Amino acid sequence: MDKLELIDAYLRDEMDSSQKGAFEKQMASDPKLQGEFEFQKSVVAGISEARKMELKAMLDNVVISGGATENFTLGKVVAGLLVVGALSWCGYYFTQPSQPREFMPVAQEAENPQELITPKGQKAEVEKEELQVEASSKAVEEKITIDDSEVDKDISQILPKSAKEPQINKPELLTGFEGDEDTSDSLLAPGSTSVKGEIEEISSIDVSIDNTRKKFTFHYQFKNGRLFLYGDFSSDLYEILEFNADEERALFLFYKGKFYNLNDDQERIMELKVVKNKTLLSKLDKARTGN
Amino acid sequence: MKDNEIFEKICKGDEKTLEYLYKKYYRMMTKMVISNSGSEQEAKDIYQEALVVFWQKSVSGKLVLTSKISTYIYSICQNLWRKELDRKRRLSHEEKDSTEYADHDKVERAKIINECINQLGETCRRILMYYYFDGLSMQDIADHLGFANTNTAKTKKYKCKKKLDELVKAQYSEQDFLD
């Protein structure tokens, strides 16, 4: 082993204690070796420092959810537009009592249609309506869940007619839903069948509302990949905004005009905290409204 | 991702997983510093430093993880922050001047070496960093950088180090002359 290899081995902590002792003894009796060692030590320290700086710079570029440097790509904005479009369509659709048929076959395709519509005798009655809208693009998908009592009223007005009409089960109305579509949601966003080939994955967020805990009035947690919202969320629409890029994901809740951070690592029940950062708020708002 | 999966990936030198880890515990770790009279920036610096320590120990194969990753990193953060608070306390007393001079000298030397490292090609930079900081073996370096075998990695490392030594020595002489 030459001099430099010995120094390398010492600096990389590859020597055992006896080898170290021998090397230190050698250095003590050889000032030239001592000088070379000090030089090599400072060079290696410099290399280490450069690598540390490089790693820290890499970490500096990591987007922290709810932080000030949320990075919105064009794709994310487009996805936001899609979601808003889908939401507007739903709002329009369910206030038009003359077109119930397109809704019904989709509902029949859902895994648990009884969760959507529960007819009682001749009179169909909607007890609870949960409409889930999904809009997806290659890189981004967002999911919006609507829980709206106003919509319930409109649907309940049109459902008795629809329930009596056997045509709603016409197979031709189901064209385009050939079973390979994700039917786990009650309603797919309009146009979603036309972009079927482009959809890579469907959002995995399932949302549950729990209004039974007195202690948690505006809280959330993630449990087994499911988002649990605690509190009364029935008085207004709520939306979950999901931004995906590579393996990263940022989630936000939009409720009563405010955005709230959602950390999908949050396994304990945590109070929902409003997003205050102005830059982030403006970007979230743009992504949501498309303006 | 579970702890063992994260640790396995980091041991293999997967920088994406380090980013994932950074994001995962950011709030938890920075909160400790902030709630102990630290600023947001100090908290971030301490957390990054702790993660770099964790990275180096994992990649070089010197770490046997016996606790949760978060527990381990948290304890590094605590130690680093304790040291930093001690340093601040000392700085506010009489040792201030001598420490400043020593730090200044160290910073200057590090700056010179950094400039020399930047004059090397990207492959040389990577080889030297992987070897001296990450503690990778020649086989790992060959794998990471796509070299045919360990001998190629060894030869390249030797040449790169020699070049860096020459550059630094030249800079040091110049600096001595200027001083």
- B113 contacts on A by Cβ (under 8 Å): 42-43, 45-47, 49-50
CA distance B145 to chain A (A): 16
Q: Which of A12, A14, A36, A52 to mutate to test the interface with B (most CBs of B within 10 A)?
A: A52
- Would you say the ipTM is above 0.85? yes
- Subunit contact A45:B110, Cβ cutoff 8 A: yes
Q: How many residues does chain B have?
A: 179
Structure tokens of A276?
């205050």
**Amino acid identity, residue A117?**
I
Q: Give A 61-80 residues with CB within 8 A of chain B.
A: 62-65
B40 contact A CB<8A: no
DSSP conformational letter for A113: G
Reference A189, options A124, A152, A137, A120; nearest CA is A137
Segment A82-92 mean pLDDT: 70
B110 contact A CB<8A: yes
Low-confidence winner among A50-54, A185-189, B38-42, B135-139 (lowest mean pLDDT): A185-189
Instruction: Say what the pLDDT of residue A134 is.
Output: 37
Reference B27, options B77, B68, B85; nearest CA is B77
User: How confident is the prediction along chain B (179 residues), in pLDDT tens digits per residue?
Assistant: 888 899 999 999 999 999 999 999 999 999 999 999 899 999 999 999 999 999 999 999 888 888 899 999 999 999 999 999 998 888 877 555 555 566 677 777 778 888 899 999 999 999 999 999 999 999 999 999 999 999 999 999 999 999 999 999 888 766 654 55
Q: Which residues contact B58 (CB under 8 A, 6 or more apart)?
A: B7, B10, B11
**Cα separation values, A139 from A73, A202, A224, A243, B30, Å:** 10, 11, 23, 9, 31
Reference A144, options A186, A196, A93; nearest CA is A186
CA distance B160 to chain A (A): 12
| Spatial distance between the Cα atoms of A42 and B157, rounded to a whole number of angstroms | 18
A35 contact B CB<8A: no
**In this structure, are residues A54 and A25 in contact, taking their beta carbons and an 8 Å threshold?**
no
Q: Which of B5, B23, B54, B169 to mutate to test the interface with A (most CBs of A within 10 A)?
A: B23
Which one has a higher pLDDT value, B44 or A161? B44
* Number of Cβ atoms within 10 Å of the Cβ of A142: 29
**Cα separation values, A132 from A62, A127, A185, B136, Å:** 31, 16, 6, 50
The pTM of the full predicted model, rounded to 2 decimals, is 0.51
Residue B163 dihedral angles phi and psi, to the nearest 5°: -65, -45
Crossing angle for the helix pair A31-60 and B150-178, to the nearest 10 degrees: 100
